[in-house]
């Protein structure tokens, strides 16, 4: 392909970035990995660190402490019986992770100069809907 250049250098970047890496709040980012997304997040964090960047991984409980993890707490969803009977109601675990991710995005907005880049590597939609409101550049992408 023209226009793409891949590098495999582990040399430090000339200008290290402070990167917030948003991972899954449901599954820990640790071996043995729950799936490919968790493995990719771990590998991405390690690669960015090897290039000299300061990476903070926002992830679920039980994640690898070597990654510089800040836990995203999952709080039990309080769903009324009426809402539970509604066929369009999402599952409680999805709602819990969604709220944890939304809370994180609000916190990141309160500290605009803390990170140079916010990278969403989760399956939640608040981070990829957030960029117009974010004081930091925000990207979303999985490997």
Q: Which residue has tokens 């066929």?
A: 87
Sequence-distant (6+) residues with CB within 8 A of 13 are: 51, 52, 53
Q: Where are the domains of the chain?
A: 18-140
Reported as a single tens digit per residue, the pLDDT across 54-107 is 999 999 889 998 888 999 888 888 888 888 888 888 888 887 887 787 888 888
Predicted structure pTM score: 0.76
User: How many other β-carbons are positioned within 10 Å of the β-carbon of residue 63?
Assistant: 26
By C-alpha distance, which of 107, 102, 110, 109 is closest to 127?
102
**pLDDT tens-place string over residues 15-50:** 899 999 989 888 899 999 999 889 999 999 999 999
SS3 at position 142:
coil
> Phi/psi at 139 (nearest 5 deg)?
-130, 155
């Amino acid at each position: 392909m023209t226009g793409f250049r891949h590098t495999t250098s582990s040399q430090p970047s000339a200008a290290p970035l402070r990167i917030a890496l948003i991972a899954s709040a449901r599954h820990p980012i640790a071996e043995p990995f729950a799936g490919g997304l968790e493995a990719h997040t771990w590998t991405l964090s390690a690669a960015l660190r090897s290039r000299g960047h300061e990476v903070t991984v926002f992830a679920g409980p039980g994640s690898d402490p070597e990654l510089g993890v800040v836990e995203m707490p999952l709080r039990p969803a309080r769903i009324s019986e009426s809402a539970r009977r509604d066929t369009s109601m999402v599952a409680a675990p999805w709602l819990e992770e969604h709220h944890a991710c939304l809370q994180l995005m609000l916190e990141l907005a309160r500290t605009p100069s803390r990170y140079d880049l916010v990278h969403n590597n989760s399956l939640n939609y608040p981070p990829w809907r957030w960029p117009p409101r974010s004081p930091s550049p925000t990207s979303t992408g999985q490997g």
